[in-house]
Amino acid sequence: MPNRLREETSPYLLQHKDNPVEWYPWCDEALERATQENKPIFLSIGYSACHWCHVMEHESFEDPQIASFLNENFVSIKVDREERPDLDQVYMQAVMGLIGQGGWPLSVFLTPELHVFYGGTYWPPRPNANMPGFIDVLRRIQEAFHNKRTEIEQQAQQITDWLNERNQSTIGILTKEDLVDAKQGMQREFDFGHGGFGTAPKFPHSSSLRFLLRFQSPVTNQTDEMARRMVVQNLDAMRAGGIYDQIGGGFARYSVDREWLVPHFEKMLYDNAQLASFYLESHVALEKHDYATIARETLDFMLNELLDPLGGLHSSLDADSEGVEGKFYVWSREQILGCLGSDLGNAICNYFGATEHGNFEGENILFLPRQTAEFLSDTKTNPDNWSVNLQVARQKMYAARSERIPPHKDDKVICSWNALGISALADGARILNSKRYLEAAERGMAFTFKQLLNREGRLLRSYRKGIAKPEAFLDDYSYTLVALLDLYRATFNEEYIDKAVDLANDMLLLFNDPESPTLYFVGVDQPPLISRMKDVQDASIPSGNAMAAEGLLRLGRLTENKTFITRAEGICAAMSATMKRSPLSMGQAWVVAQQMLVLSEEWVFVVESNDQRDELQVLLNKLWLRQINVLIRVRGETKKPLSEHLEPLFKGRFDPSGSTLNAPAQWFVCQGNHCQAPIAGWESIVHRLTALKNSNAV
C-alpha cells in the first residue's frame, strides 16, 4: 500500500511511495507526530540520480524487518535534496561536523525539536566487515534516545550552536597579490600527471578553472603559462576520458578514478551547463576550436535529452538502467562490430580504446587513449575521410544505444539549474552564432517567469507537471540574475536588464542579513530551521553568495548602480578569510574578486541599423572580453522599450527620438572615471575590432 509520498511530485519521493516504510514528506504533520509521540525523527535525504540512494532503498527501505522497526520507533521523513536544498544544507553540515564526512544518501537522526544528534550516509542492512548494519544502528539509536535523553539533547544543542557559529564572518581586504596566492593554492592541489584537482574521485571544478583561465593578462598583463597549462590539461583530460559521453555528448557527474576513465554515470544539468559555458569561453580565449565542438555536443545533449516541452530544462539522468550502473553507456567489442561492420567497427574500437576484455566489468567505457592526430598518423588514415566516418559511426551507435532501456530521468525543473542552462545556451548562441540555442535560452527564461513565479512575484524552486514549489532560495535568485545578464549580452534586449534590476532588488530584500553583507540562503518569508545558513563555498554548483556578487557587480557596472557594486564588494570582503584559507572551494568567489580588482571597461556602441548590430555582435563574439561590459543600441530603434536603468551609460550618446538618425555609428570606451575619444564611423569600428582580434589584445 502506498505511503504518504504518493501525493508528491518529486520523482525521487515517488520512487519511495511503495516502500513498506511509512514515509512522510517534510511537513507539519510529521513534525507534530514526532512531538506528540515523543519519537526521534529519521530523516533520509537523497536525489533521483543517486546510485547509492537506490541501493539503500532496495536493501533497507524495502526490507520488512527494517521497515517495521522504523515504523514502530521513528517518524520517517524522506526529502529530495534538489527540491529542498535548505534542509540538505543544514543537516549535511551537521553530519559532516559529527563524523567528518558526508554524502548521499544522507541519513540523519533528529530530536522532535529537529536538532541533530546522530547521522551518517549509506549503511548496509546487516553488518559487514567494515560497516555496522542499518538495523543495528536503528536499535542503538532507539535505545539511546530513551535511556540517554539528556546527553542526546545536550549534544544536539552543541551541534546547533556550532552551525550558527559558522555563519559569522569577518570583513577583510582582497588584493591582486591574493589572486596570485589563490592561483598557487589551486596549483598545489592540481594533478599534473592526469589533469584535475586531487586524486580520486575527481570533479570538474568549473568555477576554479574559470578563475585560472581569467587569470591571464588582466591580472598580470602577460600570459600566465602555468594557469593556462592547468586549464588546458584539465579540459583535454575530461574531453578524452570516459567522463565525457563519446557517443551522445555531455558529461557524467565525476570520475571515480584519477585518470578520468570510469565515471559515476549520472548526468546532471548543472555540470553540463557549467562545462558547456567554460569550454566555450576557453575556445575563444585559447583559440582551441575542438573546445567549441565539445560545447556544441554538450548543449545538444541538454536540448535533446533534458528539454521540457514548455521550455525548461530537466534536472538529471540516472546512473543506472535495468538496475545496473552504466549499463546504458558501455559497449562490448562485439556490439560495436555488429553495429558498424568489421572495417569501420575495428577502426572505431581502436579509436575509442574498446578491447575484447573491456575496461569496466567486462565491458568498454569509450574514451580516447590517444589524440586524434596521433591516431591518424599511427593508422595512416586520411583526416577528411576519418571525420566523415567518425560522424557516421557515432550516429549509428547513438541510434543503436537509443534502443536500449534508458536511465530514469528526473524531469523536474530546478530554478537555479535551469538558469545555469540558460546561461550556457546564451553563451552558445553568442559564440557559436546559433539561433537554435538563442531560442532555447529565451524559452527557458520565459519558462522561469511563467511557471516558476507566483502571483506575488516570488520565484519558486521546482516545477513538475503543472505544480511549482516551494519558495526559491538564494541560488535560484542569484543564478537567474546572472542568466538575465547573459541573455542581455546575447541579445541586447534591454527588457532583460529591467528584469535583472527588479530581481536583484528582491534578492537583497529577501535574503538580507542586517549584520553582514553576505546573504542568507533561505528567505525571510520561509519557515525557519534550526539554523539560518549561508551558502558561501562552492559545491557541485557555485556558491549562492558568490553568484549574487557576480550578478550585482556586473549589473551595477552596466547601470552605474553603486548600491549593487558596494554590496558585491562587501560580499567578497566578508568571504575573504574563507577564500584565502580554501581557494579551491571558493572558485566562484575568486572569479568575482578578479572582476573587482582588475579595472573594467565599458564599451558603448550606437549603430545605424539592425544589420550593423548583428555584424557587430559577430565581431565581438570573436574576442575574449574578460573585463569588458558591452552595450549596444540602434539609432531610431523603437520596437523594444529602452531601459531607463542603462541611461547613465547612454546619456548624451543616444537620442531616442531618432533626430540623430543620420549620425555615424560610434564606439565609446570608458574605464574607471574617464572615457576615450569615441571612434566614429562603421568602417573605423570594424577596422579597430578586427585589429584587436588579430593582436589578441583585449
Q: How confident is the model at residue 658 (pLDDT cuts 50, 70, 90)?
A: low
Q: How confident is the model at residue 241 (pLDDT cuts 50, 70, 90)?
A: very high
For the entire predicted model, the pTM comes to: 0.94
Query: What does the radius of gyration of the chain's CA atoms come to, in whole angstroms?
Result: 26
Task: Identify the CA nearest to 491 among candidates 552, 559, 546, 443.
Answer: 443
Peptide bond into 542 cis (omega under 30): no
Which stretches of 403-511 are DSSP H helices? 415-431, 435-451, 474-491, 495-510
Residue 640: pLDDT over 70? no
Tell me the C-alpha distance between 411 and 317, whole Å. Answer: 9
Q: Which amino acid is at 148?
A: K
326: number of Cβ within 10 Å:
22
What mean pLDDT value characterizes the chain? 93
* Cβ pair 576, 172 in contact under 8 A: yes
As a CATH number, domain 176-199+211-233+279-316+411-597 is: 1.50.10.20
* Cα atoms in the Cβ-side hemisphere of radius 13 Å centred on 84: 23
Give the DSSP H or E segment for 345.
Answer: helix 342-352
The predicted pLDDT at position 219 comes to: 43
The predicted pLDDT at position 2 comes to: 81
Tell me the C-alpha distance between 26 and 48, whole Å. Answer: 17
**In angstroms, what CA-CA distances link 80 with 9, 122, 410?**
10, 16, 11
Q: Is 598 exposed, middle or buried (0-12, 13-18, 19+ CB in 10 A)?
A: middle
pLDDT per residue as tens digits for the range 61-84: 999 999 999 999 999 999 999 999
Task: Identify the CA nearest to 254 among candidates 540, 623, 523, 614.
Answer: 540
Q: How confident is the model at residue 222 (pLDDT cuts 50, 70, 90)?
A: low
* Cβ pair 70, 40 in contact under 8 A: no
pLDDT per residue as tens digits for the range 665-678: 999 998 877 788 88
Residue 656: pLDDT over 60? no
pLDDT per residue as tens digits for the range 517-537: 999 999 999 988 999 999 999
Contacts 24+ apart (CB under 8 A), 514-520: 516/169, 516/574, 517/171, 517/567, 517/570, 517/571, 517/573, 517/574, 518/169, 518/545, 518/570, 518/571, 518/574, 518/575, 519/474, 519/544, 519/545, 519/548, 519/571, 520/474
Which CATH superfamily groups domain 4-165?
Glutaredoxin (3.40.30.10)
* Cβ pair 424, 277 in contact under 8 A: yes
The predicted pLDDT at position 488 comes to: 97
Residue 694 φ/ψ, nearest 5 degrees: -65, -30
Tell me the C-alpha distance between 226 and 244, whole Å. Answer: 25
The predicted pLDDT at position 217 comes to: 58
The SS3 call for residue 693 is helix
Tell me the C-alpha distance between 341 and 617, whole Å. Answer: 46
Residue 481: pLDDT over 80? yes
Angle at 686 between CA 682 and CA 688, to 5 degrees: 115
Residue 344: pLDDT over 50? yes
**In angstroms, what CA-CA distances link 319 with 110, 194, 267, 526?**
30, 24, 7, 33
Cell of 336: 560495436
Tell me the C-alpha distance between 369 and 352, whole Å. Answer: 7
- 691-697 average pLDDT score: 75
Residue 624 φ/ψ, nearest 5 degrees: -90, 95
- 12-17 average pLDDT score: 95
Tell me the C-alpha distance between 381 and 335, whole Å. Answer: 23
The predicted pLDDT at position 657 comes to: 56
DSSP 373-429: HHHHHHHT--HHHHHHHHHHHHHHHHHHHHTSPPPPEE--EEHHHHHHHHHHHHHHH
All structural domains of the chain with their residue ranges: 4-165, 176-199+211-233+279-316+411-597, 329-403, 601-695
Residue 127: pLDDT over 60? yes
Residue 141: pLDDT over 60? yes
Cell of 364: 568498454
- 617-642 average pLDDT score: 84
pLDDT per residue as tens digits for the range 439-466: 999 999 999 999 999 999 999 999 999 9
- 630-639 average pLDDT score: 81
Tell me the C-alpha distance between 418 and 453, whole Å. Answer: 14
Q: Strand 41-46 relative to strand 75-80: parallel, antiparallel, unpaired?
A: parallel
What sign has the CA pseudo-torsion 273, 274, 276, 280? positive
List all residues 6 or more positions away from 50 whose beta carbon is below 8 Å from its beta carbon: 104, 105, 266, 319
Q: How confident is the model at residue 598 (pLDDT cuts 50, 70, 90)?
A: confident
Torsion (CA) 668, 671, 674, 677 in degrees, nearest 10:
-30
Cell of 182: 589563490
CATH fold of 601-695, please? Answer: Glutaredoxin (3.40.30)
Same fold, 4-165 and 601-695: yes
Peptide bond into 25 cis (omega under 30): no
- 221-233 average pLDDT score: 86
Tell me the C-alpha distance between 279 and 251, whole Å. Answer: 12
Residue 220: pLDDT over 50? no
Q: Is 186 exposed, middle or buried (0-12, 13-18, 19+ CB in 10 A)?
A: buried
Q: How confident is the model at residue 51 (pLDDT cuts 50, 70, 90)?
A: confident
Q: How many residues does the chain have?
A: 698
Of the two residues 424 and 378, the one the predictor is more confident about is 424
Residue 694: pLDDT over 80? no
